[in-house]
Structure 1
Amino acid sequence: MLKRQVDHESSVVPWSSPSSDSYLIRPAWLLHSSWSWSSSGDSLSTLGRKRGTQHWKLIFCLVLVLLKTTSVLGIRVIVPQPAIVGQNARLQCLWQSENIEVYSIRWYKNGEQFYSFIRGQNGEKVNHKMAEMEVDLLESDETTVTLRDVKPNYEGIYRCEVMGNPPLFRSRFSSANLTVMNQPQIPVITGFSQRYRLPDTLRVNCTTHNSRPEALISFYVNGKVIHQDSGRVMNMGVVKNEYLDTFTSSSQLTLPLSEKYVPSLTLTCRAQVKGFDINTEQSETAEVYRTSFFPSSSKGNMESHSSMALVASAIGIVQILQGLW
């Protein structure tokens, strides 16, 4: 047991034997208290005081190390929204610290390290050559890593870890999800005619290939959208290309024509990648005629019919004159 001397009176205060853990939570004023071993351990009093002094020296040294070790205050990862297949993607790791003593910045994709920057006099860039990923070292540094020629398999969770100096290597990290998009090809319109005559029906298909994620198809006639819930648009389905990890989308438009489409109409098919403001489109224009006595829309045929009508009228007039004579 330990005995504490207060006001020169021998009042004994129970206390457990000192340990390294207990010293971490005892207040600083205990450093200046006078302690001595009880009568049963007077021969160990000097050794006990030495042990206590050593423990406090060790704790004091650890505190100095902690003060000199970088403390990262904030960290944030910024990725493209989205990354485009075939283009380069620039990922950023923005961080702040209490001082400049940062040892390294490390990048991981789905838990696997692929790039690191070791700070020093010159700075060392390390490409860990993760399978099927290309890092552009010339366009990468301690805050940025550039991925070259993005592919669908680049999609995943990217983590940046900022690590402090030894011996503790304290670190903090932040993550962000990278979505990879493949811009759809220009839509293909089938079933479209260059001429229509009222009351014909416009019936066309629109198909777009190699989008990722799948594309949504919209129809516009003379600049006005034909809404999906109008009953005029039918989704023909989505087919996944397993090899390229892309999709083919197709839709059909059925639209009875009316006077408002005379003398012409412009049809636009637009393919927009689902979830992103990225699209491609294709347009076609057709002439629209009103109904006439002669149904043929060919100019040559119309002239032929007009000539025949004049001949028939002339013959009729001749016959009438002959009857009069």
Structure 2
Amino acid sequence: MKMTHLGDHSSPSVPLRPPSCHSSPFSLYATWHSPWGLSRHGVSLSTSRSQWSAKHRQLFFCLILVLLKTTGVLGMRVKQVIVPQPAIVGQSAKLQCLWESTDKQVYSIRWYINNKQFYSYIIGSAPEKIKHKIEGVDVDLLESNETSVTLRDVTPLYEGEYRCELMSEGPSFESSFLSTNLTVVNPPNTPEISGFRPNYRIPDTLKVNCTTHNSRPEALISFYVNGRIIHQDSGRVTELGVVKHKYLETFTSSSQLTLPLSSKYVPKLTLTCRAQVKGFDIKAETSETATVSQYSFFPFFSRGTTNSSYASQVLLASAALVMLQILQAPW
């Protein structure tokens, strides 16, 4: 009887084809972590090291290609998103999206604030502007187009992350986007000075408070006397505290200046209080002026320009006159 040798019942190893560069990044990532020597009934470990390295290099370049296509770098891209630095409460804010397109036809430009869409521009033979309703955000459609969007009457609700996103036409619907942050600032009110007098005499002490309201973020207060700043570390300036108003999201700041007066402030002293928003060159200030005089028993010592030698001569003459009157008085 003729015997037939059945041999190994397992099928020969048939390597799978490398993944296509048109695959998704997720499938490429999965393939990266598993060998291509997979067979239908087992795993073949016969792939040489050189073949393995070559396949990984091909997979790597395919992955880069897919990622570039996904972000739109090959056909279109958002180059820069520009926002005011900062936006001012009550004013308008113009946001710009600078983009370019080469071999891809851009279908729409979309704007988001904190991941909520608030404006779209649809490109076509009849371009369309769309304002998406979001509480507290008001888009000026007349001042908006495919490269910019204008927000009216800025409030603290406008603060956050803004994203500009390009979308290509179908069937690929590729996209490209960039994001940036917008900060909203409320300028401080004109500072109020309290405790200031119109007249001082040496050696009086100047002691005044300065307060500013409704700043966002909090304001830093600085004192200037005759144009020269009194530094915070001089020991003359005391911060009286900051009060946060939760409803309006604004702050009230107050500081005190204590300054012993000397002859260098004669005959006039000008005090300036300046409130500057922390982190920005946005400020408000107010000034007050007072006369400063020398204090003396004799009137001529009150003159700021009196020469000391002349004063001494007048003093001696006055003393001699008094002595003469005493000697001539009847006893």
Q: How many residues align?
A: 252
3-state secondary structure, aligned to 1:138? helix
1:56 is matched with: none
Per the TM alignment, residue 178 of structure 1 is displaced from its structure 2 partner at its CA by: 0.3
Change (3 A) 1:128 1:74: closer
1:128-175: CA deviations, max 9, x gaps?
011111000000001101000000111000001011111111001100
1:267 aligns with 2:271: yes
For structure 2, which runs of at least 5 residues remain unmatched after alignment? 1-11, 24-68, 300-320
Q: Distance in 1 between matches of 2:153 and 2:194?
A: 33
Residue type of the alignment partner of 2:218: E
1:94 to 98, 104, 114: 98
Q: Distance in 2 between matches of 1:284 and 1:72?
A: 59
Aligned-pair identity (%): 62
Q: Which runs of 4+ in 1 moved over 6 A?
A: 319-322
Residue type of the alignment partner of 1:194: P
Change (3 A) 1:24 1:159: closer
Q: Distance in 2 between matches of 1:73 and 1:160?
A: 10
Per the TM alignment, residue 100 of structure 1 is displaced from its structure 2 partner at its CA by: 6.2
Q: Distance in 1 between matches of 2:268 and 2:246?
A: 41
Q: Distance in 2 between matches of 1:125 and 1:252?
A: 53
Q: Distance in 2 between matches of 1:270 and 1:321?
A: 63
Change (3 A) 1:225 1:322: closer
Residue type of the alignment partner of 1:144: S
1:144 is matched with: 148
1:258 is matched with: 262
1:197 aligns with 2:201: yes
Alignment RMSD? 2.8
Written as runs of structure 1 = structure 2, the 5 A alignment for 1:227-246 is 227-246=231-250
Per the TM alignment, residue 213 of structure 1 is displaced from its structure 2 partner at its CA by: 0.4
3-state secondary structure, aligned to 1:161? strand
Q: Distance in 1 between matches of 2:147 and 2:221?
A: 39
For structure 1, which runs of at least 5 residues remain unmatched after alignment? 1-12, 26-65, 296-312
Per the TM alignment, residue 75 of structure 1 is displaced from its structure 2 partner at its CA by: 2.4
Per the TM alignment, residue 22 of structure 1 is displaced from its structure 2 partner at its CA by: 5.8
Residue type of the alignment partner of 1:212: R
Change (3 A) 1:179 1:161: same
Answer whether contact 1:239 1:249 (CA < 8 A) is retained. yes
Q: Distance in 1 between matches of 2:188 and 2:22?
A: 63
Answer whether contact 1:194 1:286 (CA < 8 A) is retained. yes
1:278 aligns with 2:285: no
1:104 aligns with 2:81: no
Residue type of the alignment partner of 1:323: P
Answer whether contact 1:73 1:98 (CA < 8 A) is retained. no
Q: Distance in 1 between matches of 2:329 and 2:293?
A: 41
Written as runs of structure 1 = structure 2, the 5 A alignment for 1:42-121 is 71-99=75-103, 101-121=105-125
Q: Normalization by structure 2: what TM-score?
A: 0.70
